[in-house]
Chain A
């Protein structure tokens, strides 16, 4: 009976119900997409770094795990010392430069031969490897997003590059240029942002790390098989705060909309509340009826939010092929719970107000 009453009440004002559902849907989608976008970018970046094929990555002591924030170059001579270590097959210095012109890109300045030795080489979809100092390799997703073809001239970091080849994605960055040219552009001669090491056998990774640690105290040495687990929002400065702020904002939107929806509902149904009281409905009954209506609205909103999240993701990925939005069941569930808590909190005051309403005043309300 309670279910029927709630269902009919929701149907009675379809526009208000739809707006309430959409607002909760936006709340849920905002949470799912913000988290999905951050974790998607982190995971995708980590997978690309893992995809290079190196076993170990070395960074300077002040460097960040998120390579785009890593502005702490090391002397390139460290590479010579690393090559002497037992079980080290090859070492490749990489100079990183962050570019925000025409999109946000991390550019890898690489030494072609040593990078190929560490990574096993690129898979070329068109064109050929870098030969000249201004040659640029672009991965297929970036080429699609930026509409780049082999032979094009592409301006990056205020420098005109010649697109030499399009390579399969998944080898660290999306844009690769010769390390010497990038060092010149960055004014960082003989510097490298990271060193990538390939061991003679993967099982020797721990041995090599143990050898490196006394040699380079305080330097950051990561086994790349663990890299994915290190790439979380908590390890990226400020990201967690941003994510939490966005979630809080989403919750506020949902809470306020539910509050407004249920408040107007309660005011509109003042006479009905008086009728229920005249029939002997207790205050808990009235509170339960209002809260259950809010919860029902919320379930609709969660379903709409999940659908909206997938629709937005599909649209974004089509428009921005390099973008990755990771929608996980865990965060869909969390967003649902967050929305539900917001809905219950938002409906609590209207429900309390309804339960406290004087029956006689309610019955004579116009």
Chain B
């Protein structure tokens, strides 16, 4: 698929604000930082460590791919830095806010304003149309429906002709594009993607990865993505490898 044709990135100039606060790679303060992050799950009477003192940071505007075998703690790391799960120990700083010190309600409010999620299984609301799925994020954000922002984002992701379709009426690639639109509609500072190409064929994977790259390169969107796909990491600035709940290295992708 001609990516450029699918994502008319030139139109990004129409965005009322740049998505995220990015384009500043050399910032002193990382937008995302974990220090000695532990997450323990309880399985019966046994505590199972999913994260074992993870130290990890992401600069504003940076795109990072997290790789590792199944069960190494990638998703747990993503959910913890996204505020969906609480840390057992350690610090999680998101744009200067320590998630570990926040209540569930406070984390929810922070997530609403600063973080967008994209999931492997798309996780669209099945009863709503594409339009509804994107608009609900604006509604929850609390600013109400912004038709201009909505138009720009849906045009950016090539969804204009699919807005009145339900998820069951769309292909996997289209569903994931709707999910990306939903994730960025409120201009979050960080986009967290949990294996967004895991349920897509190669063609649609490339489309989604190209979209993520362009969001990052053109609009400065900070992105952290989990993936199993070695080819996917070429779209990112940096790759982080995890094993047994810890980060084992951090090397430039190219």
Footprint of B on A, CB under 8 Å?
1-2, 4-5, 8-9, 11-12, 271-272, 274-283, 285, 358-360, 363
Contact = CB atoms under 8 A, between A and B. Distances in A.
B111 A278 contact: yes
Contact of A360 (B84, B108, B125, B135): B84
B6 interface: no
B128 A280 contact: no
Given A280-B140, A282-B108, A359-B85, 19 more contacts: A1-B135, A1-B136, A1-B138, A1-B139, A4-B128, A4-B132, A5-B132, A8-B132, A9-B127, A272-B126, A275-B124, A278-B84, A279-B112, A280-B111, A280-B113, A281-B108, A281-B140, A283-B108, A360-B79
12 contacts: A1-B145, A5-B128, A12-B126, A272-B125, A272-B126, A275-B123, A275-B124, A276-B140, A278-B84, A282-B108, A359-B79, A360-B84
Given A280-B108, A281-B140, A359 B182 contact: no
B117 interface: yes
A282 B125 contact: no
Nearest to A278: B117
B188 to A, nearest CB: 10
B215 to A, nearest CB: 18
A359 B112 CA distance: 14
A275 B125 contact: yes
Interface of B: 79, 82, 84-85, 104-105, 108-109, 111-113, 117, 119, 123-128, 132, 135-141, 145, 182
A279 B137 contact: yes
Given A1-B139, A280-B140, A363 B84 contact: yes
B109 A277 contact: no
Contacts of B135: 1
A274 B123 contact: yes
Contacts of B111: 278, 280
B109 A279 contact: no
Contacts of A8: 127-128, 132
A5 B141 CA distance: 16
A360 B104 CA distance: 13
A363 B109 contact: no
Contacts of A12: 126-127
Given A1-B145, A11-B127, A271-B123, A279 B132 contact: no
A241 B33 CA distance: 67
A360 B85 contact: yes
A5 B104 CA distance: 24
Contact of A277 (B84, B127, B128, B139): B84
Contacts of B123: 271, 274-275, 278, 363
Contacts of A272: 125-126
Contacts of A278: 82, 84, 111, 117, 119, 123
A363 B85 CA distance: 11
Nearest to A274: B123
Contact of A5 (B84, B105, B124, B136): B136
B43 to A, nearest CB: 13
B46 to A, nearest CB: 18
A275 B79 CA distance: 12
Question: What are the nearest 8 A-B pairs in CB distance?
Answer: A280-B112, A1-B139, A8-B127, A12-B127, A359-B84, A278-B117, A275-B123, A280-B111
A282 B145 contact: no
A206 to B, nearest CB: 68
A283 B105 contact: yes
Nearest to A271: B123
Contact of B141 (A2, A271, A280): A280
Contacts of B112: 279-281
Contacts of B85: 358-360
Nearest to A12: B127
A279 B126 contact: no
A5 B132 CA distance: 8
A196 B48 CA distance: 89
A164 to B, nearest CB: 70
Contacts of A283: 104-105, 108
Contacts of A359: 79, 84-85
A279 B127 contact: no
Contact of A279 (B104, B105, B128, B140): B140
For B79, B135, B136, the residue with the greatest tally of chain A CB atoms inside 10 Å of its CB is B136
A363 B140 contact: no
Contacts of A9: 127
